[in-house]
Structures are given as C-alpha cells and as structure tokens.
C-alpha cells in the first residue's frame, strides 16, 4: 500500500475524532457506536534510528577534547559522558577541579533545592543526561535550550515581563533519582547492567555545559561539564555569554556534533527561536587537530573517577545502541502492541517492563480499567500522534513522536508505548503527567497531601482551597488536566503577568526559581538531598518512591516519580468515577494535550465505558484568582494539527 493510501486509511479510521479542547460536548453516559479499530497492525510510518553507539575510543576522544579546552582556559573540569538511555560511560575529573557545585540560590533565600550543594560529578552527569534525553533524530537540545524553556517567562530576559512561562516549565523535576520508572546502576557487570533509561542525580539541568552527541547523524548520548561551582541557568537569552563550561562541552562534542539542521536554533516556539549554544566552534581556545589522545593524559592531568550509584570508574565503557533489547527501549512485538511503529520498555531479557494490563485498584473503584480498555486507549492515542504535525522536530511537517502512559487511580502503570524516535525524557514525564492528573482529580488529593510529614507540603492544600474559593477543594469535585495544574503552579496567575499573585501550587516569585517551583519541588526536595548525600558517601540512597505521601496500597504510591506541571495529560473516567489518567510527552505541549485528550475520546468511542471527564466538572469551568478572576484551562489543542487533513479545532465540543 502506498504512503498516501496508508495515511488515508488512518484518517478514515480516526475520523470520529476530528472536531480546542475544553468544555462542550455531551455529558451523557450512552455508549457511542464504535468505529473500526484504528490501532491494529499497519505498515510503518516512522523510520527507526540506526543502531549506532559510542565505542570506548569514542568516549575517550570526547573526554580528551574536553580536557584540551579546559587546559586552554586554565579551568580544571569534571566531564561526564552518557549514552542515549542515560548510562554513564565515563566521568573524568581533572586535577584541581572543584569537588562540588551549588544549586544557585533564589532571590529570597534557599527553598527546596535552591542552595543545595551537590558533588560536581553529579552535576556533570545531569548535564550529559539532559543533552541526551531532550534530543532525538529530529531535534538537538542542549542544557542552554533547557534553561530557556523552564523559566517563568519565555523567552527569559529582563525585558520580557508579561510573557507566559517556558513551554517545558517544570521538566527539570523529571528523571528524578527517586523515580520508580528510571533504572538504577547497580555496579554489577554483565547483561542487564546497562539497561535504561537511567535516572539523573539532579533531574534535568538548565545550566549551560551539556550537549547531545551524534554519530553518523544518529543520537548516541550526551556530554556534560561542571567546572565553575555554580549550577544555575541563563536569566537573559538576549545577550551572548562567554561560558567556559559550555565551551569545554562544545569542544568535547567535536566529531560528534548535532546535525546543524536539527539544532535548537532551527526550532521556533511561539515565534521565538530556541538557543543551542552561545559558544561558536571558532571561539574555542583549543584545536581538535592538536588535542591530546586520551592515553596521553597522565595522572597529573586527571583520572576517571567512580560516582556512587552511576559509574564504577577505572575505565570508559561503550554505550548501548538505542532500540536494542540491551538498551531497555526496543520495537514492540506484535503480541505486545499491534501497531508496526510501536516501541516499548524492556527488561533487557526479552520481557516488556510494562505490559498492558488492567487496573490494580479493586476496592477503590467499582469497575477498574480493563486491559482491553487500556490497550484501546493507547492504540487510539498512538494513531492521533501518528497523524499529528510535530512542533519541535525538523524537517517541518514531520510526524509527532511521543511517549504515552496510562495509570489506574492508584498510580499503577497499566501500559507505556512510544514511537521509535521520541525523546527519552518523555518516558518519565508522560508517566508523571498521567499520575498527576489522576491525583489532583481524585477524592484523595487533599487527604494525601494533608498526611505528608512536611508542614510545607500540607500548606498547599489550604492555599489551593482559598484560591479556588472552595473549602472542599481537591476532593474530586473538579477534573484537572495537566494544563490546569500548570496554571495553578505558576508564580504569576494568570501565567506570566508580572505583578500578579502566584498560583496556589507555586512559590511566590520572591522565593521562586527553577530549583524551587512550589509543591512540585517541595514534594521531592528531601529525596534529592538524601540522594546527593548518598552519592557523596552517605549510607542510604533515596527509595524508588518520590514523595512521603501515604501509600494507596501496599507498595503503591500515587506520585511515585513526582508530579509534572506542564500540559499533556487528562484524567480517565467511567461515568462519574475517576479510574485513572493518561499522560503524553515528547513533541510540543499542545500536541501532548491533543494526543491525550483525543486518544481517550477515540478510545471511548471504540469500546464504550471509559471517557473524558464530563465537561461540567472540567477545570475550565472554574473562574478563579484575584484581583481579576481568570478562567482555568483544561486542554489546548493545535488549531490545524494534522498532516493528512485540513481539519481545524479538532477537539472542540468533545
């Protein structure tokens, strides 16, 4: 079948879905006539990344070139290299390099993770993972890119008051060291040791000095540099910085540079081009042609150093080829997921980590999600993704690529599926979003937060109830999509309007920073501190459980990998009963909204029973905030998002 006919077939099968997401639509419980299945076997629409990987010699070359630039700048550095799924392949500490880095304090003192002192090795690893995880075959993002998209204004600069926050505001608190999804390095050698994706010691980094690495045009990893002791972010993207850490990392990437046409500065968001690097190759003080070999770097220069929980030291490692069983992310078998383009997480031994299953919350809900319903929701969301125009991928008019997660009302993972080249960061983030929308839409949210041992965490309940004007808020009366939770978690309400009060889930602007976002960071700051202590030699690592909220059941925590506060997820209902959540991440926040919302809508049309929240209880029915009340949002779909039709307002009325 030709590509055009395949697209037409998908369009026909998904036609029921086409019609700005939010209020409107019938609130009845009648079962619609199901359209033909759209998630079954099909010819592939996506190219699978080639099986490239960093060799030991490649890793050594990256380090040697970074060392040469650091020597030219007389700034001893720590240099970390990872593969695409976060395995640490080397950490090199130059003689005289600073041992620690301080997470930049905010304007009002230290809150949450502000002012925390971290081992420099941990900061370098976080930067390398960020470059690898935020990138793909269609986009190359650096930690400078991350800095631009996580701050309170986009673009961040003193001259941009009143602009909304960055599109990935809050993503820095993903890939957390306490996550139950991301794997941990055990120190044991042999099969399975390098199965990913791996956690990051500090989540994602916004401090310039981290770049993705490409080999023959294929994303294979990342490099991160820590040298100046300040783990911060760029507050003004309107100037050009001379950042030595960025220069060292850029020099290290020579020979493994991102293709020019997919770098962040070729990607625009809301009409603004993103930043990739303030350092040009021509401004480097070292030469790749005269850089020393790794073998020539004697003990006086530095050494490969062990990093507890991440790297055994002693020798550089080869990376895993993404897409293979050994990498932990591979093509799905037809028995695991019918769509020919589907990828899943695996345990490295052939078994999927999250096979599709039914809800494990019997006793909490009268009729948990069935495995067949979960499968249909995932299939339909996958079809919406495959028809959608990507936001951040190049070339223009590429298909969107994302990860999709579904959870039950206790936050248990019921299934995760992704496209072949979706950014790795979206795996953890999609699960965070699914759990977050389920949590805040449930009858249990206020009670769980009020049972946290931290008075700081508990205070967000009263703040939210006051803000909403509802003394019984967070008890299941309102369905909150991820976009709405993000509205409430911004340091200005409405988002970006300087001089306005904060949302109730945010720190006030005088205390806010990318390291102290509000409830999001307060829930996990203890986990991060404990983990950094462990990396530095402490006895106990943080558990694979973010937050100290009470368990929903034995070993079941609703927010086990933290919360996320940017768009791309909706709660799942059966009639008026909350039964779970769906989260999507990877290729633009409006696209994430659409894939989750329409995927659930189309799944409901196909199997009946499950559905989006009744429009009457969606968060966009709430008008809140003082002195001027503003309506909360639910979801916001792209205006004309599909590659195979000219349909507009595709979520309106659903």
Burial of 15 (0-12, 13-18, 19+ CB in 10 A): middle
Task: Report pLDDT digits (tens) over 130-174.
Answer: 999 999 999 999 999 999 999 999 999 988 888 999 999 999 999
Task: Report pLDDT digits (tens) over 443-477.
Answer: 999 999 999 999 999 999 999 999 999 999 999 99
State the CB neighbour count (10 A cutoff) for residue 562. Answer: 27
How sure is the predictor about 27, in pLDDT bands with cuts at 50, 70 and 90? very low
In a domain, 95, yes or no: yes
Q: What is the mean pLDDT of residues 532-536?
A: 96
| Phi, psi (rounded to 5 degrees) for 558 | -65, -25
**Total-model pTM:** 0.94
Q: What's the pLDDT score for residue 8?
A: 36
d(CA 614, CA 625): 23
Handedness of CA 509, 510, 513, 518 (dihedral sign): negative
Q: What is the mean pLDDT of residues 88-99?
A: 98
Q: What's the pLDDT score for residue 39?
A: 45
Residue 2 has pLDDT above 50, yes or no: no
Q: What's the pLDDT score for residue 1?
A: 36
How sure is the predictor about 42, in pLDDT bands with cuts at 50, 70 and 90? low
Considering the chain, what is the average pLDDT of its residues? 92
Residue 24 has pLDDT above 50, yes or no: no
Task: Report pLDDT digits (tens) over 307-332.
Answer: 999 999 999 999 999 999 999 999 99
Task: Report pLDDT digits (tens) over 482-491.
Answer: 999 999 999 9
**By the 8 A CB rule, do 25 and 654 touch?**
yes
**By the 8 A CB rule, do 93 and 136 touch?**
no
Residue 34 has pLDDT above 60, yes or no: no
Residue 409 has pLDDT above 80, yes or no: yes
Task: Report pLDDT digits (tens) over 545-591.
Answer: 999 999 999 989 999 999 999 999 999 999 999 999 999 999 999 99
**What DSSP designation does 79 have?**
E
Non-local CB neighbours of 48 within 8 Å, separated by 6+ positions? 323, 331, 420, 421
Per-residue buried b or exposed e for 159-182, using 16+ beta carbons within 10 Å of the residue's own CB: ebeebbbbbbbbbbbbbbbbbbbb
In a domain, 102, yes or no: yes
Domain count, the chain: 1
DSSP result, 282-321? GG-SS-GGGPPPGGG--TTTEEE--BTTTB--SS--PPP-
The residue with greater pLDDT, 231 or 15, is: 231
Q: What's the pLDDT score for residue 21?
A: 40
How many CA atoms are closer than 13 Å to the CA of 473, on its beta-carbon side? 17
Provide the percentage of residues in the chain whose pLDDT is more than 90: 87
| Structure token pair of residue 652 | 């309106």
Burial of 28 (0-12, 13-18, 19+ CB in 10 A): exposed
**Consecutive H or E run containing 372:** helix 371-387
Residue 269 has pLDDT above 80, yes or no: yes
**By the 8 A CB rule, do 361 and 318 touch?**
no
Q: What's the pLDDT score for residue 31?
A: 34
Which residues are registered as beta bridge partners of 570? 582
In a domain, 496, yes or no: no
Helix, strand, or coil (residue 106): strand
Measured CA distances, 247 to 136, 192, 229 (Å): 22, 35, 16
How sure is the predictor about 190, in pLDDT bands with cuts at 50, 70 and 90? low
Its domain, for residue 264, covers: 56-318
In a domain, 414, yes or no: no
Q: What is the mean pLDDT of residues 600-614?
A: 96
In a domain, 81, yes or no: yes
Provide the percentage of residues in the chain whose pLDDT is more than 70: 93
How sure is the predictor about 356, in pLDDT bands with cuts at 50, 70 and 90? very high
Non-local CB neighbours of 74 within 8 Å, separated by 6+ positions? none
Residue 6 has pLDDT above 70, yes or no: no
In a domain, 421, yes or no: no
How sure is the predictor about 297, in pLDDT bands with cuts at 50, 70 and 90? very high
Question: In the block, which residue shows the tokens 């150093």?
Answer: 305
Handedness of CA 37, 38, 43, 49 (dihedral sign): negative
Q: Which domain CATH number covers 131?
A: 3.30.450.150
In a domain, 536, yes or no: no
Residue 30 has pLDDT above 60, yes or no: no
State the CB neighbour count (10 A cutoff) for residue 579. Answer: 26
In a domain, 302, yes or no: yes
How sure is the predictor about 191, in pLDDT bands with cuts at 50, 70 and 90? low
């Amino acid at each position: 079948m030709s590509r055009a006919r395949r697209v037409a077939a998908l369009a026909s099968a998904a036609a029921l879905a086409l019609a700005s997401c939010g209020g409107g639509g019938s609130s009845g419980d009648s079962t619609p006539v199901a359209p033909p299945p759209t998630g079954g076997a099909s010819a592939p629409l996506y190219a699978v990344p080639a099986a490239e990987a960093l060799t030991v010699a490649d890793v050594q070359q990256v380090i040697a070139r970074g060392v040469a630039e650091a020597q030219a700048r007389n700034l001893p550095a720590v240099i970390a290299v990872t593969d695409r799924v976060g395995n640490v392949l080397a950490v090199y500490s130059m003689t005289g390099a600073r041992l620690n880095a301080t997470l930049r304090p905010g304007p009002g003192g230290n809150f949450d993770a502000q002012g925390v002192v971290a081992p420099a090795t941990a900061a370098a690893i976080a930067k390398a993972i960020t470059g690898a995880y935020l990138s793909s075959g269609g986009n190359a993002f650096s930690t400078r890119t991350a800095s631009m998209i996580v701050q309170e204004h986009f673009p961040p600069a003193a001259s941009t008051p009143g602009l909304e926050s960055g599109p990935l505001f809050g993503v820095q608190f993903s890939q957390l060291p306490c996550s139950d999804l991301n794997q941990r390095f055990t120190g044991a050698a042999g099969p399975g040791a390098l199965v990913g994706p791996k956690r990051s010691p500090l989540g994602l980094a916004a401090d310039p000095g981290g770049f993705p690495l490409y080999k023959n045009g294929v994303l294979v990893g990342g490099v991160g540099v820590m040298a100046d002791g300040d783990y911060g972010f760029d507050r003004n993207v309107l100037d050009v910085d001379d950042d030595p850490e960025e220069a060292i990392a850029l020099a290290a990437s020579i020979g493994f540079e991102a293709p020019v046409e997919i770098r962040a500065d070729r990607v625009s968001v809301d009409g603004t081009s993103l930043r990739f690097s303030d350092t040009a190759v021509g401004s480097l003080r070292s030469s790749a042609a005269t850089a020393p070999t790794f073998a020539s770097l004697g003990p006086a220069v530095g050494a490969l150093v062990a990093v507890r929980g991440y790297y055994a030291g002693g020798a550089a490692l080869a990376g895993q080829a993404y897409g293979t069983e050994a990498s932990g992310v591979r093509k799905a078998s037809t028995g695991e997921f019918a769509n020919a383009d589907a990828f899943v997480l695996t345990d490295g031994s052939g078994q999927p980590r999250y096979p599709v299953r039914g809800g494990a919350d019997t006793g909490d809900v009268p009729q948990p999600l069935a495995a067949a319903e979960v499968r249909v929701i995932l299939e339909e969301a996958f079809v919406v993704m495959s028809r959608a125009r990507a936001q951040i991928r190049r070339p223009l008019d590429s298909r969107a690529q994302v990860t999709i997660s579904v959870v039950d009302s206790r936050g248990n993972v019921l299934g995760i599926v992704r496209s072949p080249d979706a950014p790795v960061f979206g795996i953890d983030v999609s699960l965070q979003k699914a759990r977050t929308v389920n949590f805040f839409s449930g009858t249990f949210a206020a009670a769980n937060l009020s049972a946290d041992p931290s008075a700081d965490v508990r205070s967000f309940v009263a703040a939210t109830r006051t803000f909403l004007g509802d003394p019984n808020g967070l008890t299941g009366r309102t369905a909150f999509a991820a976009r709405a939770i993000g509205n409430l978690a911004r340091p200005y309400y409405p988002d970006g309007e300087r001089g306005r009060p904060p949302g109730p889930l945010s720190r006030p602007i005088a205390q806010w920073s990318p390291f102290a976002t509000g409830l999001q960071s307060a829930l996990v700051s203890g986990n991060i501190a404990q983990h950094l202590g462990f990396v530095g030699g402490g006895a106990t690592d943080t558990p694979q459980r973010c937050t100290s909220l009470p368990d929903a059941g034995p070993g079941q925590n609703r927010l086990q990998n933290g919360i996320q506060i940017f768009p791309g997820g909706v709660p799942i209902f059966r009639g008026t009963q909350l039964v779970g959540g769906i989260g999507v991440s990877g290729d633009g926040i409006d696209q994430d909204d659409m894939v989750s919302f329409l995927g659930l809508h189309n799944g409901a049309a196909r199997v009946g029973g499950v559905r989006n929240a009744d429009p009457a209880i969606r968060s966009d029915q709430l008008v809140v905030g003082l002195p001027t009340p503003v309506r909360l949002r639910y979801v916001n779909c792209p205006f004309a998002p599909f590659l195979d039709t000219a349909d507009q307002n595709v979520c309106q009325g659903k």
